[in-house]
Amino acid sequence: MATTISPLAPKEYATLPPIAGVKLATAEAGIRYKNRTDVLLATFDKGTTVAGVFTKSKCPSAPVEWCRDNLKGGKVRALVVNSGNANAFTGKNGRDSTKLTASIASKSVGCKASEIFLASTGVIGEPLDATKFNRVMDGLVAGGKSDLWQEAAKAIMTTDTFPKVATATAKLGDATVTINGIAKGAGMIAPDMATMLSFIFTDAPLSASALQGLLSSGVEDTFNAVTIDGDTSTSDTLLAFATGAAAEYGAPAIARANDRRLVAFRKAFQAVLANLAEQVARDGEGARKLVEIIVEGAKTKRSARKIAMSIANSPLVKTAIAGEDANWGRVVMAVGKAGEPADRDKLSIWFGDTRVAHRGARDPDYDEKQVSAYMKNPEVTLRVGLGLGPGRDRVMTCDLTKAYVEINGDYRS
């Protein structure tokens, strides 16, 4: 856990209200470090539904496989998250650790092991001693409270410099329902769902199918549109939980994600995902600048996304931004290597509101002093116009600084 907070951190953190049917608790289990909160337990009332999206890595962690299997049941009673150890690439030991963790939690909570969901983050390849959960689980269950959102977000941090939280409300029928979210992520971030650990909680009465539909579509332009370093983790997990408690005060039960009554809820749900995703970009390891990349005029949205990601993941583009250098030649390079339709002689590039290149050449009105001043801002927008079609997309990233190398060079030290 970093000690120096990112200069891009929010000036104020949202205050998350309680959500009926959810209790939270944290503890120090000594997973990797002593005297550090490293376990989060969230417990849920009976009837809570669950949905999830996970890493597409071909080397997923044991907890990811555990969650994928249990997601079929659609019900959840508890979530156990640990930091300090990813329980990934740990073979039979890893699978046994997930079973033991779920067994310990299910006995303390009083439910089936299949109703326990797990997530782990930290070092890859080191065995996880699940017996350490034995020391704290009963206390976590007994000590659960409804207002520990900040503590929960802090418990799952690794190289993060600040806890990531977001909240929103929406009308659903005659009721106002709440959506809370927490996330962790600062490095090994690239969109392949879910690009970090994140957990979304609501009191809306949604079926598992409806919740899954909202989540699967919601990630595409939020968490899947964020990249820090182009590396997709083995542990990426995004889970959403719906307790249904709002049914008691007028919220209708929703069975399908395309239900027209979900219009306001979907917008609020998407806003929470987008808020958390941007916070991940703001906390990129060593980051000093938040970077928005917009690609317009592509053949398709998919093509625009690939070009935007080519720019966002280019070390040369990111280091130029870190050096406050409006090196648009590197943007041209990243567009050209993306493997998508592009025409050099139709290409235009903007840094902020200043067009620096147009129709395959430097813009004749380009003023280097003006752009250099813009590049000193903590938030920078690069816009590319391809002039080929209606495709448009937007992704978020950050600059690449010497601190990123230092953080990752010292990660296991």
Residue at 186: amino acid letter? A
Count each helix (H run) and each strand (E run) in the chain, helices first: 11, 15
Q: Tell me which residue of 163, 17, 19 sits closest to 83, measured CA to CA.
A: 163
Taking each helix axis as running N to C, give the angle between helix 208-218 and helix 263-282, from 0 to 180 degrees, rounded to the nearest 10.
50
285 annotated among ligand-binding-site residues? yes
413 annotated among ligand-binding-site residues? yes
Instruction: Please state, in angstroms and rounded to a whole number, the distance separating the CA atoms of residues 223 and 240.
Output: 14
CA atoms within 13 A on the CB side of 4: 8
Peptide bond preceding 194 in cis form (omega within 30 of 0) = yes
What radius of gyration, in Å, describes the C-alpha atoms of the chain?
22
Instruction: Please state, in angstroms and rounded to a whole number, the distance separating the CA atoms of residues 397 and 382.
Output: 11
Q: Tell me which residue of 290, 202, 273 sits closest to 16, measured CA to CA.
A: 202
**If you ran DSSP here, which 8-state letter would residue 364 be given?**
T
Indicate if 195 belongs to the active site: yes
Q: Which two tokens stand for residue 187?
A: 């490095």
Output the CA angle 11-154-192, nearest 5 degrees: 90
158 annotated among ligand-binding-site residues? yes
408 annotated among ligand-binding-site residues? yes
Helix H or strand E segment including 180: strand 175-184
Among candidate residues 90, 101, 167, 195, the one labeled active-site is: 195
CA atoms within 13 A on the CB side of 344: 8
C-beta pairs of 333-339 under 8 Å, 24+ apart in sequence:
334/307, 334/310, 335/307, 335/310, 335/311, 335/384, 335/386, 337/310, 338/306, 338/307, 338/309, 338/310, 339/306
110 class by beta-carbon count within 10 Å (0-12 exposed, 13-18 middle, 19+ buried): exposed
Taking a C-beta distance cutoff of 8 angstroms, is the pair 379, 284 a contact? Answer: no
- Phi, then psi, of 229 in degrees rounded to 5: -140, 5
- For 393-412, letters b (16+ CB in 10 Å) and e give bbbbbbbbbebbeebbeeee
- Residues annotated within the binding site are 158, 184, 195, 285, 408, 413
- Residues annotated within the binding site for substrate are 158, 184, 195, 285, 408, 413
Catalytic residues: 195
